[in-house]
Chain A
Amino acid sequence: MLAFLEKLDRRWVFLLMGLAVAIPILFPLPFEYKPSALARSVFDEIDRLPDGSRVLFSFDYDPATSGELSPMARAMLYHCGKKKHKLYVMALFGPGKTLGSEAIQEILLKYAGDDYTYGEDYVELGYQTGNEGVIKVAVTDLPQMFPTDVRGTPLSKIPVLEGVENFQAMDLLVAVSAGDPGSKQWIQYFISAYPKTRMVTGTTGVQSVSLYPYIPNQLAGMLGAIKGAAEYETIVNAKYPGPDGKPVPELTEAQRRMGPQLTAHLLMVSLIVVGNVVYLMGRRKAHQSGGGR
């Protein structure tokens, strides 16, 4: 057995991981999630704003991380829709522009469509090259960075942008971020210089570690990875359920994905334990046979 484990073909590990992820997808594991303080802070920040407040919503991710970030982006967009906030949607990642448009069509207009007319209640600014340079210019002069919206309309002719000369006019920034440029750049070039605008973020698990130092001063709240999204979905569904009084189907996606995450994490822990047992037994055997160092 020890010899088998010592020379275990990695394809067995791949097979185990495949099963660990596939089985809970085929047979979902129902769990209830207790919202963490950070998820609650994000919810409170969006919820305490008066209806119709100005919210800048940045989709700073691409399809590679959409499995982790789309559920939280959609839940926050739904929440903003229920609060009838004016939405200014943009992206610091090229594909983020398309992902943002999809979320607007599939969530905002589906569940809050009566309250949202393009140009009057929300606008899509799209994507611009320049990374943090985009933020740096738009915080003082929005039309210089975005002369038109994604439909080619000059910003001066869009009603929802009346009185909005730059990002400083925003009440809240929601950044869903996969890396650079993302939440960190928003903090460095916007929120630190103009703290009147509050900021909440949703990030990948890997990136969340680097953002903890900014809580609570620069960041009012943070959703970390799929767990943060599942917690947020729980809070939003409890306060703003779907038209039939049940949880919004699109807002149960993160909770569904927590099942495969649980089994995958358990497998990882088991593999590390088994790997270490094999390592220690092998070392002991080597010592006993006089070959150890």
Chain B
Amino acid sequence: MKSTVPTLIATIVGVVLIVAFFVPATQSWSETAVDWFNILAGVAFILGGGNLIKVQLETISSRRPGWGYALVILVSFAIMLTVGLLKIGVPPAEQYPNHPWSGEYDAPASAFGWIFENVYNPLTSTMFALLAFYVASAAFRAFRAKNIEAMLLLGTAFIVLLGNTAIARLTDGIPDSLSFLRLDQVVANTMSYITTGAFRAITIGIAIGVAATALRVLLGIDRPYLGRT
């Protein structure tokens, strides 16, 4: 029973979504199914929050390495949740001036808006920017022309790296009759023909694989939602 009902739900919803794609009269069924999915996705946030608290509390209570970071996560989580839910510092909306909670939770004047702008924004940008340093180090140590394939990859990387900078303007002097040799043109042609051709093949392959996997899920052969394949 525990596995039959979820399998039945997954199969029915999957079939409904496929039928609705081809039969316009059944489109409202599909909308209802997707609505359920969206509600479940919303509920998943609550489950995710609960799981985050559980895992971090376990780390702290058992004093595992890095438990201090877990504490930072929990405190940050609690602060964001509190200022967001209680709309601390949110000015009332223009149309409802007498209702203090009517404004947007992330208004620039609110606590949430301030934290987003001055803490979350620079922190996540910094984390992403750090990639440049690690990619540079990895490029120095690992990007080796060991064989023909690696050489082709290196050559393409050089062209795309340089063609996406202002240095490509140095080749603007090449006459129009040979414009295909200009660096920006070489990059455009590489992306438009070679990369696109390869990517189309990959995309079609993935699509066929997804269709086959979807069929297995619909028929209940694969049940990843129950933790079984």
Contacts and interface: CB of A to CB of B under 8 A. Distances in A.
B41 A133 contact: yes
Given A34-B184, A98-B116, A212-B191, A129 B38 contact: yes
A176 interface: no
Interface in A190-220: 205, 208-210, 212-213, 215
Interface stretch (A43-51, A74-82, A238-246, A271-279): A271-279
Nearest to A134: B38
A293 interface: no
A150 B144 CA distance: 52
B213 interface: no
Contacts of A36: 184, 188
Contact of B203 (A213, A259, A261, A267): A213
Contacts of B44: 129
Contacts, number: 160
Q: What is the interface residue range for chain B against chain A? A: 35 or more
A67 interface: yes
A53 interface: no
Contact of A265 (B30, B162, B188, B192): B162
A227 B164 contact: yes
B166 A33 contact: yes
A213 B169 CA distance: 27
Interface string A54-92: 000000001111110000000000000000000000000
8 contacts: A102-B117, A105-B108, A133-B34, A144-B31, A145-B38, A265-B161, A272-B143, A272-B157
Interface of B: 27, 30-31, 34-35, 37-38, 41-42, 44-45, 93, 95, 102, 104, 106, 108, 113, 116-117, 120-122, 124-125, 127-129, 132-133, 135-137, 139-141, 143-145, 154, 157-158, 161-162, 164-167, 169, 172, 184, 188, 191-192, 195-196, 199-200, 203
